Amino acid sequence: METELSRTLGIEHAIFGFTPFPAVAAALTRAGGFGVLGAVRYTAPDDLARDLDWMQEHTDGLPYGLDVVMPAKKAVEGVTEAEIEAMIPEEHRAFVRATLAEHGVPELAEGEASGWRITGWMEQVARSQLDVAFDYPIRLLANALGSPPPDVVARAHDHGVLVAALAGSARHARHHADAGIDVVVAQGYEAGGHTGEIASMVLTPEVVDAVSPLPVLAAGGIGSGEQIAAGLALGAQGVWLGSIWLTTTEAELHSRALTAKLLAAGSGDTVRSRALTGKPARQLRTEWTDAWDDPAGPGPLPMPLQGLLVAEAVSRIQRYEVEPLLGTPVGQIVGRMNSERSVKEVVDDLTRGFEKAVDRINRIAGRSAQ
């Protein structure tokens, strides 16, 4: 599965994987794909450095990337985290307390830190992550919520790092191209995490046309080799998968109950909700998302307020595995994530399925399989 982009990066398969877990990213890189470590959860630069050290030791000199979340449109600017905290209305805090109490969610133990405090989507935090990242031989820097600022693009290029950005529409993609981005990830509505409203089948060729000759990666709803073949047939130079890795044996979800929920979920069990971060993000539908999406409630706050507001609540829900509220960002492909497998097994399955799909299309086209 070779494309111009995979040759540029020197990878065997044009399979890119976003993951918050270093062990998954490293395993994907070792399996011949391209692992991209999500940095959003690293508040302390030292923690990111520790995990990038680990990645270095476990990727056999093969290429990998890093993903940061720098929102192009900032809800709040030039203020400290404490000042942002102070902007959260009491009505919303009371709603969190009431929803947790309704489900009997215990408090964290004395001194137990909230493990889910995501501040990486504040620009100053993302910038401190970049200060660490450029000390490592990352080959690609991806940004989730818009084009990275021009100085970040220039800095990446100075280090020989390709810059990728996620796009949910052809307009976004053109904006990325104008900003000097090297690779556009066309991420469809089906995808886990922050997502737009256009499905991958429609979005991929629109983005390919909009930014040609820039390479495009197809993302959203890909979990089989047949779907990879479809993405490549639509003009993509590779695929970018996020959800599928969540149920791999290397993923550190730290919750058997959540893994069980993912394995049991069908493709209709996700919702695009602002409950987690303040921006629409596809995730498992739970009583937590239902509460936030209920018009009778106060509704979610804008990013980054919502993320700060719910951070401790999410930690408590995960810590005590409160099943009805327990969720995670995940895409519609969750319906095909029905068994726990290693990253290598997933990649082998993807490449086998891709070959089958190519043979099938060749037969349909009247060509003999190679």
Could you say whether residue 284 binds ligand FMN (CB under 6 A)? Answer: no
Does residue 292 sit in helix, strand or coil?
Answer: helix
Of 330, 343, 346, 350, which one interacts with ligand FMN (CB under 6 A)?
A: 330
Query: Cα-flanking dihedrals φ and ψ of residue 308, to 5°?
Result: -70, -40
Could you say whether residue 191 binds ligand FMN (CB under 6 A)? Answer: yes
For the segment 151-190, give every residue that binds ligand FMN (CB under 6 A). Answer: 166, 187, 190
Measured from the CB of residue 369, what is the shortest distance to ligand FMN in angstroms?
28
What would the x/- binding string for ligand FMN be over residues 300 to 329, using CB under 6 A? ----------------------------xx
Instruction: Decide: residue 169, CB within 10 A, 0-12 exposed, 13-18 middle, 19+ buried.
Output: middle
User: Closer to ligand FMN at the Cβ: 339 or 370?
Assistant: 339
CA distances from 20 to 16, 59, 99, 185, 288 (A): 13, 16, 27, 17, 22
User: Closer to ligand FMN at the Cβ: 282 or 316?
Assistant: 282
Of 69, 126, 284, 325, which one interacts with ligand FMN (CB under 6 A)?
A: 69
User: Closer to ligand FMN at the Cβ: 115 or 298?
Assistant: 115
Q: How many residues bind ligand FMN (CB under 6 A)?
A: 27
Closest CA to 12 of 33, 36, 39: 33
> What is the number of helices (H) and of strands (E) in the chain?
14, 11
User: Closer to ligand FMN at the Cβ: 32 or 196?
Assistant: 196
User: Closer to ligand FMN at the Cβ: 92 or 258?
Assistant: 258
User: Closer to ligand FMN at the Cβ: 31 or 219?
Assistant: 219
CA distance 204 to 275: 27
- Largest Cα–Cα distance of the chain, in whole Å? 68
Of 6, 18, 168, 278, which one interacts with ligand FMN (CB under 6 A)?
A: 18
CA 346 to chain centre: 18
> What sign does the dihedral 114-118-122-128 (CA atoms) show?
positive
Contact footprint for ligand FMN (CB under 6 A): 18, 38, 40, 67, 69, 142, 144, 166, 187, 190-193, 219-222, 240-244, 328-331, 333
